[in-house]
Amino acid sequence: MSSQITDVLIVGAGAFGLSCAWHMARRGTGARLLVLDEGEFASGATGRNGAGFRMQWGLELNIRLCQESIRFFETAAETLDYPRGIELKQDGYLVLAHSDKAFERLQEAVRTQRGFGVPSEMLDADECCRMVPVLGRNRLLGGSFCAKDGSASPFLWLDALLRAARREGVDVRYGTRVEAVEKNGSGFRAHTRDGIIEAGKVLLCTDWAVPDLLAPLGIEMPVVPLPKEILVTAPTRQAVKPILISLEHRIAVNQVGRGSVVFTVSRAREGRSTETTPDFLSFAAPKIVDLVPGLAHLPVLRSWGASQASLPICSRYSAKPI
Amino acid sequence: MPRSVLIVGAGPAGMSAAIEAQARSARVIVVDEAARPGGQIYRQTYRPSTGGGAIADSGELARKERLIGAFERLCDKIDYRPSTAAFALFGSGELHVANGARTEVLHADSVVLTSGVREIAIPFPGWTTPGVMYAGGVQALLKAQSVLAGRRIVVAGAGPLPIVVAAQLLRAGGEVASLATLNSLAATARELHALWKGRDIVLEGLRYLATVIRAGVPRLSGFVPVRVQGREQVESVLLARVDRDGSIIPNTEREIACDVVAVNYGFASNSELALMAGVAMRHDQPSGGWVPVVDEFGRTSVPGIFVAGDAAGLRGALVAEAEGRIAGAAAAEREEIKSAQFRVGLSQDLAQRERLVAFQSAVQSMLRVPTGLWRLATDDTVVCRCENVTASALRDAFAAGHLTPNTIKRVTRAGMGWCGGRTCLHAVAALAELHGAPDAGLMTPRPLARPVTLAALASLDASSR
């Protein structure tokens, strides 16, 4: 068993891990930074999700995090020296309500958002359908819209971060799973199949899997995976300009730059599988056709599974100290 | 209660699996994408009324008539579904199929995959110009529609198919401007013992070759297409001789005017459904790239899922037919496989397969492709046609350390389009190997194996689940 020493070990090379690594490296402290990921490039939650970002949330923390993120995304390709670009798209997010209760929730959220300077607004059903003609009118009451929200390619975003981080001297390795982390003097010891890593500090960036590595240290973190399944259609001419979310259908719709439409469907299911479950396509398709009947003719090319963490925690989390 | 056997594909393996399973009292369902049974090799005319002279060898025609005849006599005793595409298979044996605007979920005790192979091409400058086709595609047009793909056709590639297609084009009255073959027949002819085992097939091949020779078609051995000229349509092709490593030998180029270039460099197994169901795979380039691991009865690593015929490794129609019978029997009588009696009943088919597999491995020496041929693609050559991904975009990804099909796909989109990577993935993997990838990687299979509309997916009858 080999042993390696690093100043900071970052577990997970997704959006959290690589972004943290790059931002730390940029500070030029000379600290040795090692990022380990159990899978291949972009094989985790970042590469599997619906790729949207929005300031339209109901909680201050989410709203402010996204305001910061969007400011960064807007110039990320230049900042990270990634000439190909990250397929940034800011055509807005339209959150749809199909019940009075949902409509009231959106109104309240918009009031909160505007308090933080988010340029969101309420639209009635006619305005929603004018904006997205393929939308179904069934039960639709209206929605909230913010033009600054949008999406980027998670793959290009991660590739840009990966190349930039490596240029700054970060050691990023794939295919190495951190099995366990334990306290070791003033630092930590991480166990992998290939050997032991002695690290001054450990940053866990494994999203919904963070509790897995914390639990053995006696720290309980109330983060749970929210399972989703996703399908993508063949490219078509522009039909859905803003990203749609339907609270009732629990579906997000994002037509990406290439013209493909990505449907992200939330559903309760067991485990953390990244595979399509056998009944997913027949579960999702009728809901999608009800939400956007104008897209029923589109051929579906591919489907997969994903999870994302519940609410982020952005503070010193008071757990039993170690 | 009789066992149910679900068969995917109605080529030689699928038809004979159906016949055998039905004879053993199984309840048989056959789903096939084509409108009429036969698969690629025994492809029938699109409609019974579509005319066309006999272009195939008499031996092949006799086998085709006998097997299709036997299958058609069976059709009222089984559930045969033509024009039906299988688009997802789960390990539980749950098969999702689409027929036009409708989808359905089928269950069976055993699933036999006989989905055959697809063709392989090697990208070269101009290979996406209209008029460059797979040789098997040119052949399918002849068989199904009696249509000549062009007025003046150059046929090129490796293995026996280019010879067969050139001969069939001539028999249908077409003009073959040149037949360029990568490997010489002489190398294969050295393996006399193996060839003897397949002497009937060799004779058929020689009759095809005789057709080409009699017609005076210029034959270029050791030549491959290296560039196509023409913007909207093929105007000519540049053929050049290559050395053992696949590098172009200077000053050997010849330009040949033509409107169609028919290319085939061998085959890849249609193994998507098996992969999706979690079947263990092995890699063997000449016999089909990634192919499912099967035992002598076609059993895979997933209980209840069988693979037979070329989908389990390219060995031709005769092996497929024997293997279909073996897998059909095994799928129908899963508990009985271990009995000595079961094996005795199949001894003819098992012996036939053994004899022909030896022959086929000799033929496959013609399908070895030197790695240098993958360097024909210049920076602006499109490799993934669905997503317009060029060789230079791939090379940029390789240089950044993305060397597995999954990671290359994420960064470049190669393999994310309409065809699901069926056209480009072998090329992407081969190019990655040139740039230091440790092995031919495998892309994680995802539903759907065929595009199906949202409306069709929404039509699924809930009661069929």
3-state secondary structure A217-239: HCCCCCCCEEEEEEEEECCCCCC
Report d(CA A102, CA A123) in Å as an integer: 13
Tell me whether 0.95 is exceeded by the ipTM: no
CATH superfamily entry for domain A90-150+224-309: D-Amino Acid Oxidase, subunit A, domain 2 (3.30.9.10)
| Min Cα separation A199/chain B (Å) | 26
Q: Which of A234, A298, A303 sits opposite B446 (nearest CB)?
A: A303
Is residue B282 within a helix (H) or strand (E), and if so which, with residue range?
A: strand B281-284
Q: Using the Cα atoms of residue B15, residue B17, residue B23 and residue B29 in order, give the sign of their dihedral.
A: negative
Cis ω before B448 (30° cut-off from 0): yes
Strands B27-31 and B4-8: parallel
Q: Is the Cβ pair B454, A233 closer than 8 Å? A: yes
Report d(CA B264, CA B256) in Å as an integer: 18
Report d(CA B426, CA B420) in Å as an integer: 12
| pLDDT value, residue A317 | 60
Is residue B351 within a helix (H) or strand (E), and if so which, with residue range?
A: helix B347-363
- Would you call B51 helix, strand, or coil by DSSP? coil
- Among the ranges given (A107-111, B22-26, B57-61, B263-267), the one the predictor scored with the smallest mean pLDDT: B57-61
| pLDDT value, residue A307 | 85
| In CATH, B121-265 is 3.40.50.740 | no
- Among the ranges given (A194-208, B37-51, B373-387, B419-433), the one the predictor scored with the smallest mean pLDDT: B37-51
Q: May I ask the CATH class of domain A2-49+155-217? A: alpha beta
Strands A243-246 and A93-97: parallel
Contacts of A299 in chain B (CB under 8 A): 418, 451-453
Best B103, B403, B410, B444 residue to mutate vs chain A (most A CBs within 10 Å): B410
| Min Cα separation A7/chain B (Å) | 25
Residue pLDDT, tens place only, B164-182: 999 999 999 999 999 999 9
With bands split at pLDDT 50, 70 and 90, how would you rate the model's confidence at A123? Answer: very high
Q: Using the Cα atoms of residue B424, residue B426, residue B431 and residue B432 in order, give the sign of their dihedral.
A: positive
Residue with tokens 């063949």: A234
Residue with tokens 């990505």: A262
Best B403, B406, B457, B465 residue to mutate vs chain A (most A CBs within 10 Å): B457
Fold of B4-117+268-363: FAD/NAD(P)-binding domain (3.50.50)
Q: Which residues contact A143 (CB under 8 A, 6 or more apart)?
A: A94, A95, A96, A97, A106, A122, A123, A128
Around Cβ A58, how many Cβ atoms within 10 Å?
Answer: 13
pLDDT at B49 over 70: no
Mean pLDDT across chain A = 92
Report d(CA A289, CA A297) in Å as an integer: 9
Contacts of B454 in chain A (CB under 8 A): 233, 285, 288-289, 295-298, 300
Contacts across the A-B interface (CB distance below 8 Å) = 99
Best A258, A281, A297 residue to mutate vs chain B (most B CBs within 10 Å): A281
Cβ(B88)–Cβ(B95) below 8 Å: yes
Q: Is the Cβ pair A282, B457 closer than 8 Å? A: yes
Q: Is the Cβ pair B452, A300 closer than 8 Å? A: yes
Cβ(A260)–Cβ(A235) below 8 Å: yes
Domain boundaries for CATH 1.10.10.1100 within chain B = 377-434
Report d(CA A161, CA A19) in Å as an integer: 7
Strands (E), chain A: 2-11, 33-37, 52-53, 93-97, 120-124, 142-146, 150-151, 171-174, 178-184, 187-192, 195-204, 225-233, 243-246, 251-255, 261-266, 299-309
Long-range contacts of A236-240 (CB under 8 A, 24+ apart): A236/A260, A236/A261, A236/A295, A236/A298, A239/A132, A239/A133, A239/A134, A239/A294, A239/A295, A240/A132, A240/A134, A240/A292, A240/A295
Residues 118-177 of A with CB under 8 A from B: 155-156, 159, 162-163
| pLDDT value, residue B398 | 96
pLDDT at B46 over 90: no
Residue B456 is encoded by which pair of tokens?
């069709």
With bands split at pLDDT 50, 70 and 90, how would you rate the model's confidence at B337? Answer: confident
The domain limits of chain A are: 2-49+155-217, 90-150+224-309
Note whether A233 contacts B: Cβ–Cβ < 8 A: yes
pLDDT at B51 over 60: no
Cβ(B417)–Cβ(B424) below 8 Å: no
Domain boundaries for CATH 3.50.50.60 within chain B = 4-117+268-363, 121-265
Residue pLDDT, tens place only, A13-40: 999 999 999 999 999 889 999 999 999 9
| pLDDT value, residue A315 | 65
pLDDT at B463 over 50: no
Best A158, A163, A174, A300 residue to mutate vs chain B (most B CBs within 10 Å): A300
**Residue B43 per-residue DSSP state:** P
Q: Which of A285, A288, A301 sits opposite B451 (nearest CB)?
A: A301
Note whether A236 contacts B: Cβ–Cβ < 8 A: no
Q: Which strand ranges, in their side-by-side order, compose the sheet holding B110-113?
A: B79-81, B27-31, B4-8, B110-113, B305-307
Backbone angles phi, psi at A258, to 5 degrees: -70, -15
First vs last C-alpha separation in chain B: 21
pLDDT at B461 over 70: no
Cβ(B314)–Cβ(B288) below 8 Å: yes
Best CA proximity match to B422, nearest among B159, B134, B70, B223: B134
Contacts of B451 in chain A (CB under 8 A): 234, 299-301
* Mean pLDDT to the nearest integer, A183-208: 93
Backbone angles phi, psi at B16, to 5 degrees: -75, -30
Q: Which of A40, A288, A299 sits opposite B451 (nearest CB)?
A: A299
Q: Is the Cβ pair B105, A282 closer than 8 Å? A: yes
Contacts of B103 in chain A (CB under 8 A): 281-282
Residue pLDDT, tens place only, A36-93: 999 999 999 899 888 899 999 998 988 999 999 999 999 999 999 999 999 999 999 9
Q: Is the Cβ pair A155, B448 closer than 8 Å? A: no
| pLDDT value, residue B52 | 58
Best CA proximity match to A262, nearest among A227, A286, A298: A298
Cβ(B224)–Cβ(B239) below 8 Å: yes
* For chain A, percent of residues with pLDDT exceeding 70: 95
Cβ(B411)–Cβ(B401) below 8 Å: no
| pLDDT value, residue A313 | 67
Residues 302-321 of A with CB under 8 A from B: 302-304
Report d(CA B25, CA B44) in Å as an integer: 28
Best CA proximity match to A254, nearest among A152, A141, A103, A121: A152
| pLDDT value, residue A220 | 84
Q: Using the Cα atoms of residue A147, residue A207, residue A23 and residue A86 in order, give the sign of their dihedral.
A: negative
Q: Which residues contact A66 (CB under 8 A, 6 or more apart)?
A: A53, A54, A55, A57
Strands B4-8 and A299-309: unpaired
Note whether A276 contacts B: Cβ–Cβ < 8 A: yes
Q: Is the Cβ pair B453, A299 closer than 8 Å? A: yes
Q: Is the Cβ pair B458, A296 closer than 8 Å? A: yes
Q: Using the Cα atoms of residue A280, residue A286, residue A291 and residue A293 in order, give the sign of their dihedral.
A: positive
Instruction: Classify burial at B49, counting beta carbons within 10 Å of its beta carbon; exposed 0-12, middle 13-18, buried 19 or more.
Output: exposed
* Mean pLDDT to the nearest integer, B8-20: 98
Q: Which chain B residue has the Cα nearest residue A164?
A: B400
Of 3.90.380.10, 1.10.730.10, 1.10.10.1100, 3.40.47.10, the CATH number of B377-434 is 1.10.10.1100
